[in-house]
Amino acid sequence: MHGLRHLQLFGNKLTDDGLRSILDCCPDLGSLDLHHCFILNMEGDLRRICDERIEKLRLPHDSTEGKEFVARSEAYCFKWTELPDDVTALILSQLGGIDILTSAQKMKDFVKWLQNFRCWRTLIDLSIHEDISHESLALVGRSCPLLKSLKFNKRWFDEGRYNNRYKLERNDYALAIAGTMHALHHLMLFRNTLTNKGLCAILDGCPHLEPLDMRQCFNLRLGGKVGRRCAEQIKELRLPHDSVDDIDPSYQFVFDQ
């Protein structure tokens, strides 16, 4: 985007280094909105460079009353997919995995770009404690071929949401894991809604699993063949009704069975 003239980064988490990269790569910038970009320090000569280079500059703590610049036409918006890779890498380096994934859920172009981004290729351990879509979870699997450990924990178990016509949704996350994370060695699914069908898919799709934690996964019925298979295939198994004493206290006693 070397010819970019107008850029709005309202509430972005970029750092001074990220802003310097944007200024270096976008020499024609005339309007730059940094409202609520509170990580910026504008240290050293960065503020002076902005004042000299940018005709219309909005700083992080400037007033948003009137929102003249914010409400301008879409011509002032940018696409993630058109940013230089080094600029995007600097921006993403300031975000957590969940921030990136929740953004990916909302922007299809960003999802396509993210699949090829090198920061995911070497990821081997990921903990998710937020509500993301099963599509985003599958994106993780496709984008992280070296992923060995996944913790995907929920703060509540809401069985009512998955009754009747929503029955098929119970296994969406389990099938996303089974279909894309074949190298997994460690898996924790605390308060997941998967059924025996989803569990069997994981056992088939993730043959290297050793520890498997399914505590408070209350849709599972492990008294028959599935339970015996788990006992034979998994070295360290945590069952739905096992103690949760070692779980973060903020997760305890927040479920609706």
pLDDT digits 0-9 by tens, 92-117: 655 555 556 555 545 555 555 555 55
Pick from 74-78, 86-90, 177-181: least confident = 74-78
What integer best gives the mean pLDDT of the chain? 77
Q: Is 234 exposed, middle or buried (0-12, 13-18, 19+ CB in 10 A)?
A: middle
- Mapped onto helix, strand or coil, the DSSP state of residue 171 is helix
State the DSSP H helix or E strand holding residue 7, giving kind and residue range, or none if neither.
strand 6-8
Instruction: Tell me the CA distances in angstroms from 213 to 98, 179, 244, one per residue in order.
Output: 21, 19, 11
- Return the pLDDT at 212: 97
Those residues whose C-beta lies under 8 Å from the C-beta of residue 15, and which sit 6 or more positions away, are 39, 40, 90, 94
CATH: 1.10.20.10, 3.40.50.300, 3.80.10.10, 3.40.50.720. Which one for 95-251? 3.80.10.10
Looking at the chain, which residues constitute the CATH 3.80.10.10 domain(s)? 95-251
In 93-210, at which residue ranges do the beta strands (DSSP E only) sit? Answer: 125-128, 149-152, 186-188
Higher local confidence (pLDDT), 124 or 67? 124
Task: Determine the Cα–Cα distance for residues 228 and 48; give it in Å rounded to an integer.
Answer: 69
Task: Determine the Cα–Cα distance for residues 138 and 133; give it in Å rounded to an integer.
Answer: 9
Count other Cβ atoms within 10 Å, centred on residue 192. 26
Q: Which pLDDT band, with edges at 50, 70 and 90, does 186 fall under?
A: very high
